[in-house]
Structures are given as C-alpha cells and as structure tokens.
Amino acid sequence: MLITEIFTSVQGEGAAAGRPCTFVRLARCNLRCHWCDTKYSFSGGDERTLADVLADVERRGVKLVCVTGGEPMMQPDAVPLMEELLARGCAVLLETSGALPLDAVPAGVVKVMDLKCPGSGEAPANHWPNLALLGAQDEVKFVVQDEADYRWALETCRTHGLGARPRRAGAPDVLLSPVHGVLEPAALAGWMLRDGLDARLNLQIHKYVWGADVRGV
C-alpha cells in the first residue's frame, strides 16, 4: 500500500481528542477540498507491505490507531490493515470523506465520516447511503467555512435525524469543525447554541499545540 507517513502524536479531534495515537496516513485522495490541510498526501507515498506497516505500528506501543489520508478507502489494503489492527487489540479509527462506499469497513472500527459542506467545493461527492452504515460509536464531521456551510450542516442534521435532542438511539456523534484560521470558533459555537444543535464543537487541538502547518505531530 502507498503510505505518506506513520507517526505517533495525540489525536487532535473527535471523541478521542487528546489521547496518544499512532496515525497511518495512506496516500492518494479522490477529492480536492478547498481548505484541505493534507495536500501533500495527494501524490507520492512509499510502497510498503501490510506486514511492514503493522510492525511499524506495533513498535510504537500505542493501542489507539487512526487510519487516515488522503482517502484511505481508495486503497484496497486499507481493509485488511484495519482487520489486522483490530485482531492485535488496537482501537481503530478510520478518518474518511465518506465519498466512497464504507460497506467493507470491519465491525469494531470507529468511522469518522467527513460530510462535505458546500464551501469545500466537494459537496456533490457525498455518498449519502454511508449514513445508514454509521452507529452510535461512529462520528459525522462537518468542516464549516462560514454561516452558509453551518446552515447546510444544520439542515442536513435535521433531515437525517442527527444532532437532535434527545439523541436518536444508535445515531452517530456529530462534530462541527471551523476551518482553522478562517472561521472563529466562537462564531460557530454561537450558532450551535442559538439553534440548539446537539453536536460537539470540534477544534483541531494539534494545530493549537504545534501550529497549523507542522507535519508528523
């Protein structure tokens, strides 16, 4: 499989934010979001075997592993990688746009699906049937550029029964992330409170700790 990087840091987002985590970043992506912060994963990458990747992860001694990209579901070996990580007792997160079908994702993997708001330029790529595959352990993320994006996310949540009070049984957690350096978190928090959206304000804490453009941390 083509690997952009493997590194150990703290998880910067979602329910696992702040926990030590090993990241396996697969190369290639089928989308080109305007605000993407990992454009370096669009090309290049090192061809590595499954055994080599697993050995690298195991040497690091961290049992929380995030399979990310790029878009990891572009690579067929992503599925056996997640299966093997689970078999070795790891807690596995999959960070995906959800633009590709997620039917093959192993049970037990926490799916963090990034539904694309209009400001990304990639909203037409959203694969809506994937929402039916998400359960209570999973997360739906909206990266919000402005109030128009927020209103789109709010309407999407209402249409699909997400972020409601009380939370629908079995529904995934909802994360709203401001585009770092573009939308002030306070503005997004204010809109969420105004509209009673039961969601998590999702700040990328690694960017506040190490800076927005630092790789491998």
- Is residue 105 within 8 Å of residue 134, measured between CB atoms? no
Any idea what DSSP says for residue 55? H
Note down pLDDT in tens along the chain; length 217 residues: 999 999 999 999 999 999 999 999 999 999 999 989 899 999 999 999 999 999 999 999 999 999 999 999 999 999 999 999 999 999 999 999 999 999 999 999 999 999 999 999 999 999 999 999 999 999 999 999 999 999 999 999 999 999 887 777 788 999 999 999 999 999 999 999 999 999 999 998 887 887 666 666 5
Domain that holds residue 91: 2-210
Residue at 72 is within a domain: yes
- State the pLDDT at residue 170: 80
Residue at 137 is within a domain: yes
Tell me if residue 30 falls in helix, strand or coil.
Answer: coil
Q: Is the dihedral of CA 27, 32, 211, 143 positive or negative?
A: negative
Pairing of strands 91-96, 64-68: parallel
Orientation angle between helical segments 50-60 and 78-87, nearest 10 degrees = 40
d(CA 65, CA 203): 20
When divided into structural domains, the chain yields a total of: 1
Pairing of strands 2-10, 200-201: unpaired
Longest dimension (CA), the chain: 50
Residue 96 token pair: 């995906």
Residue at 112 is within a domain: yes
Residue at 216 is within a domain: no
Residue at 205 is within a domain: yes
| CATH number (domain holding residue 162) | 3.20.20.70
